[in-house]
Amino acid sequence: MNLRKKLMVAPGAKVRLKKFDPAFRGDYGSAEDARKELARNVARLADLQQKLYGEKKHGLLIVLQGLDAAGKDGTCWHVVSAMSPLGTTVTSFKQPTEEELRHDFLWRVHPHTPGRGQIAVFNRSHYEDVLVVRVHELVPKAVWSTRYDRINEFERLLADSGITILKFFLHISPEEQLERFRQRLEDPARQWKISEADYKERAYWDDYTEAYQDLLEKTSTPHAPWFVIPSNHKWFRNLAVSEIIEATLDDLDLKLPKPTVDLDRIRADYHAAVARGPADADTGGKDR
């Protein structure tokens, strides 16, 4: 099954999240069935990233959004970790600081976008400015409602600068969220993830759903598409996200750059050095 095609929100399409099954798992019965496929994707990602890093023609921006416990961090641990820290950054966007609030909403975001050769992951993003901000009316509607256009323009600017953009909405059911909250309460290794806001935000589920539907409809564009990732099964989420990133990088036809030096001359230097033998230990080779 082509997950990229199946899970992409077609630009301009009407979105009713009720119609997307968060427990969907494609043709796979269990995590075990998908294990080989995930391992293959992860290995391919590492290989493709080396080419992206070497070629420095394209950059990749990955946006992760979802309600609390949807698996944004988990996706970083399991999928993004396939990429080398050498060419990857992850930025987690929290409540804006006072200084950030004195600027336009994209001011704090822009410096974290990737350059060509880099992969940048946003764990939450500028989309919070049409999500939590909208749901809690942190600014008037007249302000947040203009932001969809600003976001599309911003992403267009990035795309025109060689940045490929993939946006993942990690879709879970309310029951699955409650189950994950329960696990967090009971498992000492997960208790640190609990926040005061978690249950309070749950009460706004329908408002968030509406806000998500709206942004999926307004900001899924050919140059920066959204994908609704069924995320009740963590293994399927990892599989889908890794597959979409892999297929997208594959399409870029990335090539390792040609050497910038005269290889024949360097080879001659090399052979001359071999003929001279090892550097003298006493002089540290300074007299050669």
Q: Which two tokens stand for residue 144?
A: 């947040």
Residue 232: CB minimum distance to Mg ion, A = 18
Q: Which does 96 bind (CB under 5 to 8 A by kind): ligand AMP, Mg ion, none?
A: ligand AMP
Give the Cα separation of 227 and 3 in Å (integer): 10
| Near ligand AMP by CB under 6 A: residue from 19, 86, 95, 160 | 95
Give the Cα separation of 112 and 121 in Å (integer): 9
Residue 72: CB minimum distance to Mg ion, A = 9
- The CB-side HSE value for 48 (13 A sphere, CA atoms) comes to 25
Candidate ranges 31-39, 89-97, 114-122, 172-180; the one touching ligand AMP (CB under 6 A):
89-97
Give the Cα separation of 229 and 122 in Å (integer): 16
- Asked if 52 and 119 touch (Cβ cutoff 8 Å), the reply is yes
Which residue lies nearer to ligand AMP by CB, 94 or 286? 94
Applying CB under 5 A, which residues contact Mg ion? 68, 195
| Near ligand AMP by CB under 6 A: residue from 49, 78, 79, 129 | 129
Q: Which two tokens stand for residue 127?
A: 């989309």
Q: Which does 124 bind (CB under 5 to 8 A by kind): ligand AMP, Mg ion, none?
A: ligand AMP
Residue 16: CB minimum distance to ligand AMP, A = 24
Give the Cα separation of 86 and 50 in Å (integer): 10
Cα end-to-end distance, the chain, whole Å: 63
Interacting residues with ligand AMP (CB under 6 A): 93-96, 124, 128-129, 132-133, 195, 197
